[in-house]
Amino acid sequence: MRRFPASVYSVGEEPDARFSLANERTFLAWTRTALALIAAGVALEVLGLDLHAGFRLAASLLLIVGGTVVAPFAWWEWMRSERALRLSQPLPGAFSAALLAGIVVVVGLLVLAGVLWR
């Protein structure tokens, strides 16, 4: 039986299913987060809140781009974690968490600036 992606499933031994399923749930949570970022970016711009237009647009674009970037990183981190599980290696760090935190901080600062300079 051939499984996708072969780069993950062709190495190591099959781990305990509970660990693989937990890794998949984490991937799905990151995917939901990416979708929420995109939806928040669209909502921020469409609702036309009483914010400085330039800061509002910048925050909206950052949210949309951030969601678009976080989604592939979720897949990449799922593959790295699954490969580590199969090889009985320590799990890798989550780069996406740092990326997401940075996006949220910058968006928060842009919205704050939009409120102060309206």
Is 2 part of a structural domain of the chain? no
70/26 Cα distance (integer angstroms): 13
Is 33 part of a structural domain of the chain? yes
Is 25 part of a structural domain of the chain? yes
Is 80 part of a structural domain of the chain? yes
How would residue 105 be classed by pLDDT, with cut points 50, 70 and 90? very high
Domain boundaries, position 49: 16-116
Give DSSP secondary structure letters for 7-75: HHHTSS-PPPHHHHHHHHHHHHHHHHHHHHHHHHHHHHHHTT-SS-HHHHHHHHHHHHHHHHHHHHHHH
Q: Is the model's pTM score more than 0.85?
A: yes
Is 7 part of a structural domain of the chain? no
Number of domains in the chain: 1
Is 106 part of a structural domain of the chain? yes
- Percentage above 70 pLDDT, the chain: 99
Is 10 part of a structural domain of the chain? no
